[in-house]
Amino acid sequence: MHLTHYQEAAGTPNLYCQAAQNSGGASERPGSFMRHCACAASQSSRTIILDYCTSPAQWYKLAPDSKGRYTDGSWSPIAPMPAGYSPLYFAQQVLPGGNVIVNGGEYNDCKLDFSDNNGALYDYTSNSWTSVSAPACWSEIGAAESIILPDGTYMLANCCDDPGQQALASISGTTVTWTTSDSWTCHIYSQECMLDDEFTPLPDGNVLLVDVNVLTDERDQYRIYDTQAGTWSEVGTTADYLNSSRTDELGPSPLTLQYGSQGTVIQFTANSTLGVNDIYSVSGNTWTSAPVLKVGSTIYDCCGAPAATLPDGNILVQARPARSIRPPVSGSSRSTRRAS
């Protein structure tokens, strides 16, 4: 998901992958700060989750109980990641063969590090990690987004270059070869074209992105990536201002095919003041305002949160009343970095 944070529903393991980050269950998962998880291919029925701020980075796998229930399953450690790479807020995908690739991230090794360009690939058959070099000339990847395209290709964004770039990966075993191309020129006020955005797969195979770094008349600009042409197009703006003005972040943007002739995308807000969420109609290519997420009279936002599409087409999302949770590191905030 940037784990992004969103995965399409594809059976119990994938759904539990999201829920396990924020609830008890499964015989109390190990560790105290679980943030990212990755679900290996359905044929292996594995869910793995990272215990952040461990060095070397320690992941755990979830196994179902004897009746196949993940809620009553058990956790056990898998091989740790390569030394020196223990990220948070990273790009991650499950590859078509069932292996897991991780790139970039922030707060590496529990330190104030916003733009890591490391990477690693997990082979579930050998229970081993292999370091993955960044695309050529990418000194930063950071909290960038990623996606598996319809043909099975892994696409990774570059967080912090101008013009922005994406890279397509050709993967053979544990060998990763990158092909990069430009996306678009950054906004005049930002040199971080594709930082903290999100790739959402559309039913026609293209990719939707709401641009957190560009505002037009107090709305967020959105773009669509044509997977056949390999190009981005500026399409228009959302219905509302969804961005977090303090940190330039958004919430997740899951797709559900349950509603509308071609489905809808809900872009959850990171704006804790307005609290409004927006809905994108795939067939109409239009945005409308969705209800404000409230608990009682308190507005909740979904800044940087995970979300999952459930089998019935509804959306499960994490939300919070204020941006008060920070990784356990010392130093200045990201908003200070952006302002510098």
Lowest mean pLDDT among 5-19, 111-125, 139-153, 250-264: 5-19
Side-by-side strand order, sheet with 175-182: 146-148, 154-157, 165-172, 175-182
**How many residues are recorded in the chain?**
340
* Average pLDDT over every residue of 92-107: 91
Specify the pLDDT at position 3: 40
* Average pLDDT over every residue of 131-147: 92
Q: Is beta strand 219-226 parallel, antiparallel or unpaired with respect to 207-216?
A: antiparallel
| Cβ-contact 34, 62 below 8 angstroms | no
272-302: per-residue pLDDT in tens?
888 899 999 999 999 999 999 888 889 999 9
Which residue is listed with tokens 């959105």?
222
Cis before 163 (ω within 30): yes
Considering all CA atoms of the chain, what is the largest pairwise distance in Å, rounded to the nearest integer? 57
pTM, to two decimals = 0.82
* Average pLDDT over every residue of 209-238: 87
Specify the pLDDT at position 151: 94
Q: How confident is the model at residue 134 (pLDDT cuts 50, 70, 90)?
A: very high
Tell me which residue of 318, 319, 316, 268 sits closest to 9, measured CA to CA: 316
Specify the pLDDT at position 41: 41
Q: How confident is the model at residue 149 (pLDDT cuts 50, 70, 90)?
A: very high
Lowest mean pLDDT among 15-19, 227-231, 245-249: 15-19
Residue 104 confidence (pLDDT) above 80: yes
Higher pLDDT among residues 249 and 227, named by residue: 227
At residue 334, the 3 state secondary structure works out as helix
Residue 18 confidence (pLDDT) above 50: no
Higher pLDDT among residues 326 and 52, named by residue: 52
Higher pLDDT among residues 254 and 245, named by residue: 254
State the burial class of residue 325 (Cβ atoms within 10 Å of its Cβ: 0-12, 13-18, 19+).
exposed
Higher pLDDT among residues 63 and 130, named by residue: 130
Tell me which residue of 102, 127, 123, 97 sits closest to 52, measured CA to CA: 102
Bridge-partner residues for 299, per DSSP?
294
Specify the pLDDT at position 52: 84
Specify the pLDDT at position 196: 77
The DSSP annotation for 123-192 comes to: ETTTTEEEE-PPPTT-----SB-EEE-TTS-EEEE-SS-SS-EEEEEEEETTEEEEEEEE--PPPTT-S-
Specify the pLDDT at position 26: 52
Q: How confident is the model at residue 55 (pLDDT cuts 50, 70, 90)?
A: confident
Displacement of CA 189 from its chain's centroid (Å): 24
Q: Which two tokens stand for residue 167?
A: 């890279």
Angle at 248 between CA 179 and CA 188, to 5 degrees: 70
* Average pLDDT over every residue of 71-89: 92
Residue 305 confidence (pLDDT) above 70: yes
Specify the pLDDT at position 19: 37
Specify the pLDDT at position 4: 36
Q: How confident is the model at residue 188 (pLDDT cuts 50, 70, 90)?
A: low
Give the separation between CA 290 and CA 306, rounded to whole angstroms.
Answer: 18
**Half-sphere exposure of residue 248: CA atoms within 13 angstroms, side-chain side:** 25
